[in-house]
Amino acid sequence: MSSSIQEKHDVPVGKDQREPLYKPSLIWLGFAVSFMSFWVGGEIEAALGMPNALFAILAGSGCLVIFSGFIAVIAARTGFSFPMMVKATFGVKGAWIPILITALIVNGWFAYQPWLMADLISVLWGGNTIIWGFLFGILFLLSALSYRFMVYLRYVAIPAILIMALYLIFAIIVPAGESAWISTPQEAQPFSLGISIALGLFVVSGTMTGDIVRYAKNSYHAVIVTCIAFFVGNSGALSLGALASAAAPTIDSYFGMTAIAAGIPLVIAVCLSNWSTSDSCLYNATMGYANLSSKIKWKHAVIFGGVLGSFIAATGVISNLEGWMNLLGIIVPPIGAVIIAEYFIVQRSEQEYNSKRAGFNAYALSSALTGSIISYFTLITFPAVPNAVIGIIAAFSIYSVLGKLFLQKRAAPGVFAEQHAATTEGVKHK
Q: What is the pLDDT of residues 198-215, one digit of tens each?
A: 888 888 889 999 999 999
Confidence of residue 186 (pLDDT cuts 50, 70, 90): confident
For 277-290, b where at least 16 C-beta lie within 10 A, e where not — what string? bbbbbbbbbbbbbb
Question: Which residue, 381, 389, 420, is CA-closest to 88?
Answer: 420
Could you give the C-alpha distances from 144 to 27, 214, 238, 305, 307, in angstroms and in order?
A: 11, 17, 25, 10, 12
pLDDT at 349: 67
Q: What is the pLDDT of residues 15-39, one digit of tens each?
A: 888 999 999 999 998 888 888 889 8
Gap between the Cα atoms of 215 and 232, Å rounded: 20
pLDDT at 327: 80
Question: Which residue, 7, 76, 80, is CA-closest to 420?
Answer: 80
Q: What is the pLDDT of residues 335-392, one digit of tens each?
A: 999 999 999 999 866 667 888 888 899 999 999 999 999 999 998 998 878 888 999 9
On whether the CB atoms of residues 74 and 340 are closer than 8 A, the answer is: yes
Confidence of residue 319 (pLDDT cuts 50, 70, 90): low
Question: Which residue, 73, 12, 1, is CA-closest to 226?
Answer: 73
Given a cut of 60, whether residue 425 has pLDDT beyond it is no
Confidence of residue 414 (pLDDT cuts 50, 70, 90): very low
pLDDT at 197: 85
pLDDT average, residue stretch 307-328: 79
Cis peptide before 159 (omega within 30 of 0): no
Given a cut of 50, whether residue 93 has pLDDT beyond it is yes
According to DSSP H, which parts of 142-202 are helical?
Answer: 147-167, 174-176, 191-200
On whether the CB atoms of residues 211 and 287 are closer than 8 A, the answer is: yes
Given CA atoms 226, 232, 233, 235 in this order, what sign does their dihedral have? positive
pLDDT at 215: 92
Given a cut of 80, whether residue 333 has pLDDT beyond it is yes
AA identity, residue 29: L
pLDDT at 9: 73
